Chain A
């Protein structure tokens, strides 16, 4: 009995302790830090750490931010759902953030709704994600934002009549396939074939050989960024598809800034992409971001779109904390994030108050050499693109 009292006392003290620390905001971070996608999570993790290092002082006095980091281990909805559940129930996090892959975000969405924990999607790009819970905002991009304009642009190019799509066989790949085909055919192009490939295929050559033998004018590819992108771009190069007159295009996942060093043998100018961020972007906010990044992580390290999605995701969380003066109420936080405008390294961005999804510039980029290194150089801007998917798939 005596022991029990002592225990209860200790428990009461601990509870009092947590209450006293109410101004510590706990953020549960879910990144893919191992397996074939390890480099993706690494970019996101580094961006979050950099943002906090730069901006921690701006938090309201007495407010602290505590990060609890978990490894998604890949596109693994079952693993991530369990981790998110532990973060919510055991660690009592007030925000969930990260989500490298779509299936992980999809699996966590019902938990966010049930537990009323805002969920900041820092990468996963399938359009339908934000509809899965009223507690989701996205600071990355949607596949339709790049796929649809890419299709329209490609069909308008001289000498382009036929197109082919090759995508990783999961939700974001399906989004690119559908959005590109819609944009391309609406603008008068003809699709002569589509192939869906395993998400982490070992060898892309057989798939691309099939495309090469079909001789389309333009090939649109989506695979997850990271080593998959390098592998498929190398296969395109090895097969001599550029020489065969097949132009390679895709969303920016095809030429992630942080993978370009591994693609160095590529000839210039064969790949055109549309995306929202390039490390080579000529904007003051971006120059400052890249400089701070390289000061922190070395001259050879380059931040890509994954880094920017996570960097701006932290900015969103900071905005919601500051707007509530250090307190955290999930519903108020969501209100603060709706319509939030931000000057990001990628250019201006906004969270659409209705859809809670991102509105941002998309850039047409050519892969060329700058000072001997490959870079995605922006040549055209499509200003403030809303997710076209919403227009074609209105909420029921």
Chain B
């Protein structure tokens, strides 16, 4: 019995830590896709950029972890505004195929650029000492870094929910997702809203990239290596929702971990099988609207 409980706790803990990273990186993608109807496959590029900025600041300039993360968010958020205005904005009315081709192209350019600047290898991530080792909770010990991931992510997620549900800006974003033309005719500047949301989503992705650098190693092909996972979280969760991807990430993170723990032989397949089953059951995703 003890062994079963211990296994369940292990699975829940590690699954949640993994899910949190997936969620923070992907949620921006869900909102921008739902809001702008833009198939932005290059979303992972912003997470990768955040990761690179974070590890570079930490390794080469000795900036503390927390400060590096904040700077990474700011830098990537600002850069994404420029990219959105100069590149993305031109393709809002284009067909999905053109959007996909454009963003895939962006991924390849990002891979080449990252390789050029940082070389082909995965970046070294020196965790701050406070996050190394174990923390004791009751009779069990947990890896400190993962416990930290879960706590920080929950704080961010609560902040995000409050922001979307309780603030004026959140209300405008929800309105624009629900019905863009109606929102526009009520005097909401949807163009500026797009830019702002895009920057927020990118900054969150950057945060996820930096926070999760220990789990999803920062290397030039980051954006394409993890693309499938980000897309799965968004499509299973449902476009335009911030709640959907949360449950989708939890489901996939915990399910994936449980399979790797209990039946490692087929562990790698779980996430794909689950995605297919879920999408057959609810083609628009868990919380999506058909």
Contact = CB atoms under 8 A, between A and B. Distances in A.
A52 B287 CA distance: 62
Nearest to B214: A234
B163 interface: no
A262 B120 CA distance: 15
Contacts of A209: 10, 14, 261
B146 interface: yes
B264 interface: yes
Interface string B233-259: 000000000000000000000001100
B121 A205 contact: no
A33 B120 contact: yes
A23 interface: no
B14 A205 contact: yes
| B129, B215, B226, B265: residue with the most chain A Cβ atoms closer than 10 Å | B215
B277 interface: no
Contacts of B3: 213
Nearest to B145: A238
Contacts, number: 90
Contacts of B64: none
B193 interface: no
A373 interface: no
A239 B143 contact: yes
Contact of B124 (A35, A42, A210, A261): A261
Contacts of A206: 10-11, 14-15, 256-257, 260-261, 267
A129 B81 CA distance: 53
A302 B121 CA distance: 15
Interface size class of B (residues with CB under 8 A): 35 or more
A203 B129 CA distance: 21
B134 interface: yes
A34, A198, A207, A209, most chain B CB atoms within 10 A: A209
B215 A203 contact: yes
Nearest to A205: B14
Contacts of B129: 265
Given A238-B143, A243-B134, A195 B264 contact: yes
A9 interface: no
B120 A202 contact: no
A262 B265 contact: no
B2 to A, nearest CB: 10
A265 B127 contact: yes
Residue from the set B18, B221, B260 with the largest chain A CB neighbour count within 10 Å: B260
A231 interface: yes
Contacts of B121: 38-39, 42, 227
Contacts of A35: 120, 221
B13 to A, nearest CB: 9
A383 interface: no
A373 to B, nearest CB: 14
A115 B236 CA distance: 51
Nearest to B18: A203
A188 interface: no
A131 interface: no
Interface in B1-33: 3, 6-7, 10-11, 14-15, 18
Contacts of A197: 260, 264
Which of B15, B121, B133, B141 counts the most A-chain CB atoms under 10 A from its CB? B121
A227 B217 contact: yes
Given A203-B215, A209-B10, A34 B120 contact: yes
Given A36-B219, A202-B216, A227-B217, A196 B265 contact: yes
A243 B142 CA distance: 12
Contact of A240 (B10, B134, B215, B221): B134
A38 B216 CA distance: 17
B162 interface: no
Given A203-B215, A265-B127, A36 B122 contact: yes
A294 interface: no
Interface in B108-135: 115, 120-122, 124, 126-127, 129, 132-134
A240 B132 CA distance: 10
16 contacts: A34-B221, A36-B219, A38-B120, A39-B122, A42-B120, A196-B264, A202-B215, A202-B216, A206-B14, A206-B256, A207-B260, A209-B261, A210-B262, A213-B3, A213-B6, A238-B144
Interface of B: 3, 6-7, 10-11, 14-15, 18, 115, 120-122, 124, 126-127, 129, 132-134, 141, 143-146, 214-217, 219-221, 226, 256-257, 260-262, 264-265, 267-268
